[in-house]
Structure 1
Amino acid sequence: MSKGDLSQAIGAALPYLRRYARALTGSQTTGDNYAAATLEAILTDRSAASDASSPKVGLFKVFHGIWVSTGAPVVEENTGALAKAHDRLSKLTTNSREALLLHTIEEFSISELAEIMQIETSEAEQLVVLARQEMADAVSGRVLIIEDEAIIAMDLESIVADLGHRVTGVARTRDAAIDLAKQEVPDLVLADIQLADNSSGIDAVNDILKELGERPVIFITAFPERLLTGERPEPAFLISKPYSEDQVRSAVSQAMFFSSTETLKA
């Protein structure tokens, strides 16, 4: 592959590396810093990405090498709720969370996952199984769903409930979302970008966070690359439409670890 073709392929995959890095760290800033360090490493040694089975696999492989070499840090300051997130995450099997995200959210095959993490395929498969078990049992809390399509809302509600969380309500518009959030404060917000009456899920979330304080948010969108540029404040947790049940389950479990409330069980 020529240098230009490799650069183009890596550029196309970069938004999804940002998504993965943000989900791992729970932070746009920290995640994007890791993505930038990955690009710098590839600029220094192009073969690190070009020798992989695909440029995207190579990109994530380089990232993973940097991630594990720095001790897979989750937060920059171990205080308050972030310290609790770090404590919960430290109890998970090493590399299990990474494996789950790579396989479910980023949709790498088990063989690609093994290549990225430099492990056997049998170990990669086992890590995904362990992650599902460990994260499903680790935390539970209250979830507000902001979604205007009834069938999708019902599906999300079912998935969230099956994970052991309690849905505080389903809102179809920005105003309804704010009202529901005030009635019962959620630990996590799961929001579509485009809502009924042409209101914005992003605006609804911004209003909720302004009113109630910081808490994890998962956005659902058909155009994830638009929210993964790294050029402005963007979400740490993002699911692409159409989504799979595994993707929602993984994202909710990841985000719950970073809840800013005191109501989660550890």
Structure 2
Amino acid sequence: MALETYRKKRDFSVTPEPQGRKAPRTGNSFVIQKHDATRLHYDFRLEMDGVLKSWAVTKGPSLIPGEKRLAVHVEDHPLEYGGFEGTIPKGEYGGGTVILWDRGTWTTIGDAHRGYAKGHLDFELHGEKLGGRWHLVRMAGKPREKRENWLLIKGDDDAARTEGDPDILDERPESVATGRKIEDVAGEAPGWSSKTGRIGKHRGRTRAAPPEEQPATVGVPEPSKIKGAKKAALPDCVEPTLATVVSSAPSG
């Protein structure tokens, strides 16, 4: 899969995801990104041939040997995506929240290209959370299936766990890059990106607040409309009315 597929699915003027480019074929990094989109899943990525070969692991990796986890093979991602953490806007491909759940290096057991082509990759992970031997096995395809379904399986070694042991997904939910949990990143809507930093909230048009109600004023009638009014000149002086001292309050 080429990066053209990755780019065609994204509007980079909207999403903070890196556009990226194909890099020299020298690295052996791996990353796992916890991705809360339509459904919560874990994106498992192995660096190979200058890109990140990618699988969406629906239930996340299991440390119990023989426990098979469905891994849907998706488009190649650029190496820069291995450092991405943030919020993909709703309406965009993969819209949702992403954290960098694990990272490190991987070493192949046998020929990686031959194993990938045959649909059976054996490798070891050297990550901050995951380690030991792992297998990626391609399932037999069904007619008209658009994507390849693989299985991610833990090998039986010292890094494995048994039934009843804590689930690594529950035990270590935090990002290895920032220490945050996925709900912490989601709470910073519309997003935060390790590429651009905190993304400011979009401020659309705001409705003007309704004006405060003013008390009704009593209009002053025209003098000509007052019953019994007579037209006359104003006096030159009006005698002031003086108060008169009395011994009791007036009635009424």
TM-score relative to the length of structure 2: 0.21
Work out which structure has the larger RCO, using CA pairs closer than 8 Å and 6 or more positions apart in sequence: 1
Report the structure, 1 or 2, having the larger helix content: 1
More strand as a share of residues: 2
TM (norm. structure 1) is 0.20
